[in-house]
Structure 1
Amino acid sequence: MKIGIIGVGYIGKTLSRKLGAAGHDVKVANSRGPQTIDAEVLVTGARAASAADAVKDVDVVILSIPLNRLPEVAPLIATVPADTVVIDTSNYYPARDSTIDAIEAGQVESLWAAAQLGRPIVKAWNAIGSGSLAGTGMPAGTAGRIAIPVAADDDRERAVGMSLVDDTGFDGFDAGTLAESWRQQPGAPAYCTDLTIEELPAALAAAEAARLPVRRDLAVAAFAERVGDGTTNPDPEFGVRVSRALFM
């Protein structure tokens, strides 16, 4: 597939490398221009591009930017054909994204994101930590392979998301519609707990919407105490331990 990725942070750069290694034709862009993209992002064949070029003539656009920046890229996404699959990897963290009243009032994050972009989206790769995404992928059929929930309102688009998740080394799990994607938001039992495809359905079913924000904020405080700032991610083992203790 031809894939354009906007954002080369922790998740975006890993997706660039993994999807390039899987044989996809990948273009990547950031907000500062193609000349600023590190060579490590391009090591498996992805090409640095401007944001406008990254979303041109592609089958899939992956947005790997903070949730509060989605409105900024909405004009860019408006240029993308309707049959192009748009995948969003973001999550809502008030300390980073500032308060978003609609989400605080209970709107599902993915539905808010789709409204900002003005089109349907797929939610994928949001429920795995960046360390686990980078370091724990396995070939299909391997015992203990981690599963990642994929939600979308369109069956075809959800299937594309699941297939690409598989290409990054994880079992894509059909998590239903965007209205149900709150079950993979921060604070939920399925969020960053590195579960197998056999374990994931029960975790999604066990989610309690009212408890997610409190659990999310407890995890943020634990991670901040561990690493001492708001920009460094905790090591994956610690992150999974904390997430399982607080969310499950």
Structure 2
Amino acid sequence: MTIGIIGSGNVGRALGQLFSHVGEQVIISHRHGVASLAPVIAEMRSTVEAGTVADAAKQDIVVLAVPFNALPELPTSVDPKTIIIDATNYYPSRDGDQPALAAHQVTSSELVAKHFGTKKVVKAFNTIAMTKIRSLAKPSQPAGRIAIPIAGDDNAAKQTVTTLIKRIGFDVVDLGSLSDSYPAQADGPLFLFAGDADQVRAQVQH
């Protein structure tokens, strides 16, 4: 399994390091070109390489680690088998006023799925602070793990992402479909919340 990451900021770098730590082959990219990624690659393990956005979008799993307002710039065509992990967050002050999102008439991940024309979108990794995520991972300790909330419309895709999340040292709480992912959005009760599976489920009810 290969993982493409679109975005080389805090989210892209942190997830790239976590994935590479368990031996996953990772291609990290951003819109500024491959050569400008040299400092990022220097921080990574040997299983991470630089690529174009198009390169990253061809991998088995593609992680969106970009601002939500960058969505229109991303490729719209991906392989039907590709799983997209949506780690984006919608912030009105940065991404512009979108009344349907603000009114919870649609979730941001549903818009991501619409953009790519696929049901294999899994919301994940957007609620936890990337400055802390590496220190919270417990790949060798199955007990007492922090839980990552996920949501998606394709059960097989969710299972694949669940397996990946557990490999890097976290538990998983499945919120349901993409339309159920409101608690994990930036205005939801799970945003920046770090707790175990029981605590995450209890937080959803707040």
Q: Fold conserved (TM > 0.5)?
A: yes
Look up the match of 1:65.
66
Equivalent position amino acid for 1:99 in 2: D
Check whether the contact 2:41–2:48 (CA below 8 A) recurs between aligned residues. Answer: no
Note the C-alpha offset of 1:123: 0.3
CA 1:145 to 1:49, structure 2 compared with 1: closer, same or farther past 3 Å? same
The alignment covers a number of residue pairs equal to 202
Equivalent position amino acid for 1:42 in 2: M
Equivalent position amino acid for 1:103 in 2: L
How far, CA to CA, are the matches of 1:41 and 1:102 in structure 2? 40
How far, CA to CA, are the matches of 1:164 and 1:9 in structure 2? 21
1:101 paired with 2:103, answer no
1:86 paired with 2:52, answer no
Q: Which runs of 5+ in 1 are unaligned?
A: 207-248
Look up the match of 1:47.
49
- Name the Cα RMSD after superposition: 1.7
Equivalent position amino acid for 1:52 in 2: A
TM-score of the two chains, using structure 2 as the length reference: 0.90
Look up the match of 2:165.
165
How far, CA to CA, are the matches of 2:46 and 2:126 in structure 1? 23
Check whether the contact 2:147–2:194 (CA below 8 A) recurs between aligned residues. Answer: yes
Cα deviation 1:26-74 (Å, max 9, x = unaligned): 1111110111112345335201011112222x2111111011111210x
Check whether the contact 1:140–1:170 (CA below 8 A) recurs between aligned residues. Answer: no
TM-score of the two chains, using structure 1 as the length reference: 0.76
Q: Which has the higher helix share?
A: 1
1:33 partner SS: coil
Equivalent position amino acid for 2:50 in 1: A
Equivalent position amino acid for 1:109 in 2: S
Higher normalized contact order (CA 8 Å, seq sep 6+, divided by chain length):
2
2:85 partner SS: strand
How far, CA to CA, are the matches of 1:102 and 1:127 in structure 2? 21
Check whether the contact 1:15–1:168 (CA below 8 A) recurs between aligned residues. Answer: no
How far, CA to CA, are the matches of 1:6 and 1:173 in structure 2? 24
Check whether the contact 2:122–2:158 (CA below 8 A) recurs between aligned residues. Answer: yes
